[in-house]
Amino acid sequence: MSMPRAVRHINEVRALDVVFRHGRISRANIAKELGMVRSTASSIVASLADEGLLVEDDSQDDKSAGTGRPGTFVRINPNYGMFIGADIGVGRMNVVALDMEASVIAQSTADFSLLEAGPDLVVQKLVDVVENIRQRLGNDYRIRGLCLTAPGVIDRNGTVLRAPILGWRQEPILERLQQRLPEIPLLIAENDANAFAIAEIYQSKDERGETEIYIYLDAGVGGAIVNSGQLLRGQDGYAGELGHIILGDEGFVELATVSGSFESFIGREAVLARYRFHGGSADDIPAFMEAARRQEKSALSTLKDWSFYLGRGIATLTSIFNPTRIVLGGPVAALFDLCREETLEKVARNLLDGHPIPEIKLSSLGREGPAIGGASMLHKQMLSVDENLVFGRPKIDAGRAQ
């Protein structure tokens, strides 16, 4: 790309980012944000409008652009594109579609039996859900990309190297999707905890810290480490497997992962197994939480054990990364509110005196968090500089692209 074209492309991306962050903004204020003269900003906005990325919003005049004739607002055209995130969980698929403004425009779930959860069945269910979303939304949106997230280790080619909970190993999941959905221009695959972290960052208004840790608690326990707004992926892209750190010789439940791992003490099956050990009986986390709220002795004993190992694990991560914030998400994370003080006390007990304790907070996202994160990754990539055009190399990896 020639230098003038490269500069213009970069400024177009900057302008899109400004409009996205503000929701609606005038050309004059876009010029102010970008440090440009109004005529240059207007030319860039006109080009983006011609491409269909921006539309005028004349519902209210802009009074903040200075003297002279008030300017009209522009906003992202929500219909320009649709981004689909599909999270493959234990027996359930959550699918979310975002529009160009990153608003949820469709949401769907599909259940499946773990005994029958072969990749072919899961991919076909996903194809059916995507087709259903298309039919519901009609021709208003063009699908710009789809991100599949799963609780496992996924390589850069979109192969699920191992997902013990699903029983998958060396599964080329993106290749299967490409065969079934060839018309979708961009397919990526991502670990569910990484996607959850992206969703939390994209949706949250909290000021970002330099280092943050995200822990996703469900049947397994996944994690993501974010440094200066970027996922820390490690040498081979597998960083953040926090659920596999070792906290003891044996956990509360025998899993298909390493014995004594973090998730064998604090994951869903670990909680329910420990509850049975103490004499309780519950088939799921909501039933267990109800027993704990009733102050049932076996439930309270289970919470005490759970908070001990959650606190020890958080302390270990704090000693290594010194994070600003640790965010807990997923269905099991709700237990934290029932034993917050006990957990914080265990964190402090497992750190050296005076070591700062990070903020520990619950995510506001529900089960759809990883799916929203997958779609958000695609949306973020749409609003990023195309490095292939500017530098002659591909865009920075938003996930793992096929």
pLDDT at residue 61 in the model: 53
**Percent of the chain scoring above 90 in pLDDT:** 61
Contacts 24+ apart (CB under 8 A), 30-33: 30/74, 32/65
CA-based nearest residue to 142, from 150, 128, 130, 160: 130
- Residues 211 and 226 sit within 8 Å (Cβ to Cβ): yes
Cα gap 126→93, rounded to integer Å: 8
- Per-residue pLDDT at 149: 95
Q: Specify the CATH superfamily of domain 80-196+368-390.
A: ATPase, nucleotide binding domain (3.30.420.40)
Residue 381 to residue 115: CA distance in whole angstroms: 36
Pick among 3.10.20.90, 3.30.420.40, 3.40.980.10, 3.90.79.10: CATH of 205-362: 3.30.420.40
Q: pLDDT of 162-221, one tens digit each?
A: 888 888 899 999 999 999 999 999 999 999 999 999 999 987 766 777 899 999 999 889
Contacts of 49 (CB under 8 A, 6+ apart): 55, 56, 74
User: Contact 74/134 with Cβ under 8 angstroms?
Assistant: no
User: For 3-76, which CATH class?
Assistant: mainly alpha
133: pLDDT strictly greater than 70: yes
| Integer Cα distance of 245 and 255 in angstroms | 14
What's the whole-number average pLDDT of the chain?
A: 88
Q: DSSP class of residue 209?
A: P
Cβ(167)–Cβ(117) below 8 Å? yes
Mean pLDDT, residues 38-59: 89
The answer to whether 292 and 334 have CB atoms below 8 angstroms apart is: no
pLDDT band at 269 (very low <50, low <70, confident <90, very high): very high
**Tens-place pLDDT, residues 375-402:** 999 999 888 876 665 555 555 444 444 4
Is residue 62 over pLDDT 70? no
Return the structure tokens found at 63.
Answer: 């009074």
Residue 299's nearest CA partner among 307, 290, 308 is 290
Q: What tokens appear for 187 in the block?
A: 């397919």
Q: To the nearest whole percent, how much of the chain has pLDDT over 70?
A: 91
**Mean pLDDT on 126-151:** 91
pLDDT in tens, 307-337: 999 999 999 999 999 999 999 999 999 999 9
Q: Structure tokens of 163?
A: 């997902």
pTM of the predicted protein model: 0.87
Phi and psi for 159 in degrees, rounded to 5? Answer: -95, 130
Check if the beta carbon of residue 137 is closer than 8 Å to that of residue 105. Answer: yes
Question: Which stretches within 184-253 are classed as H helix?
Answer: 192-203
For 172, other C-beta atoms within 10 Å of its C-beta total: 16
Per the structure block, which two tokens stand in for 103?
């608003």
Residue 126, CA distances (Å) to 97, 111, 132, 133 in order: 13, 11, 10, 11
Nearest alpha carbon to residue 242 among 196, 286, 205, 288: 196
Rounded distance, CA 188 to CA 177, Å? 10
Min mean pLDDT across 20-24, 65-69, 115-119, 255-259 is at 65-69
Query: How many CA atoms within 13 Å lie on the side-chain side of 306?
Result: 34
Specify the pLDDT at position 388. 62
Residue 238's pLDDT is 81
151, 195, 197, 194: which is closest to 173 by C-alpha? 151
CATH 3.30.420.40 positions along the chain are 80-196+368-390, 205-362
